[in-house]
Structure 1
Amino acid sequence: MLADIKKNTEQKMSKSLDSLKTDLMKVRTGRAHTGILDHVMVDYYGNPTAINQIANVTLMDARTISVQPWEAKMVGAVEKAIRDSDLGLNPSSQGNLIRVPMPALTEERRRDLIKVVKTEGEGAKVAIRNVRRDANDQLKKALKDKEISEDDERRTQDEIQKLTDKFIAEVDKALVTKEAELMAV
């Protein structure tokens, strides 16, 4: 039972860390990458659909993404969805191809993005601490139901705290890396 609690706790904390890393990939640096458009939703015949499900998204060069919708009549909708997203991008269409140039980041915009990154990191830390709290609650319930001894509960709580510290250190490391990436000109 204790092994299950520890294993579930570690899996949930790992998922929180993975989620943070995925979210950090969305925060753009000066380089273009196709993943930045993954969460842009296009109105596809009344259904919000991810852009990569209705168009081919590729890199033209280091600072330009090309989007080629599979249906010619979707060019306008895709272009509008990219422009309306909160990514600060200004696409331009040339026939069936949409070019999305990545603007250079200003110092002010970099600082704003660092604030976003720190907020994401704090959310991940809160999620990890919530997982720790849930695990400790399970331990207390097991102790109350006399399924485990007090020594086992204390030892397992210490191990869960060490897991928590490890994952929070990973979050901090990911944040430092992303901040350095954003500040690099």
Structure 2
Amino acid sequence: MPFPAGPGLGSPQIGFFPATTDRNPIKAFIPIHALKDDTGVKEISLQTSKGKYQAKKGREGEGKVRRGERERERGKMASEFRKKLFWRAVVAEFLAMSLFIFISIGSALGFNFPMVANKTSTKSQDNVKVSLAFGLSIATMAQSVGHISGAHLNPAVTLGLLLSCQISIFKALMYILAQCLGAVVATAILSGVTSSLPGNTLGLNA
């Protein structure tokens, strides 16, 4: 094997390629066969670049999907806001909640009824009547508005359906608002009706 010529001493021997101007012959020359085929290195580099490109495209795709979901949710909310059926369901929840509270709480009021000669009875409403009033009123409301709004009649039910992704956020908020307003209206009516009765216990816990 011929000894490679150093820089400035002439042309390098066959089989070697000058790599640097370093006078160290080991660093100055590298064998040609180490450079003649770098296909494997190129393939590895290509695969790495391809993997990075695919990962980038995947992240971009996920971002587009999330943006699309948000846009669809906004579009769904806007479309619900414009639909008559949506507002019909909200009004149904309001009316059903108002009637349920009026009937059930009205039956449970423990005010005393006047009997004879300004003497009042100290006996409260019968528990069976109160139970029947609650049960029959909620059953009637469910049958009446179930096909319109689903007859939630309870913010806890609406929240549970929201967490299970069965209704939209906007619909859940409007339902809860309607239910709370219905309960307030029914209580106000009861307060006006029963305020003049003796021993009225509306709003008292003891």
Structure index of larger Rg: 2
TM range (shorter): 0.3 to 0.5
Higher strand share: 1
Query: Given the two structures, how large is their TM-score scaled by the length of structure 2?
Result: 0.32
Query: Given the two structures, how large is their TM-score scaled by the length of structure 1?
Result: 0.35
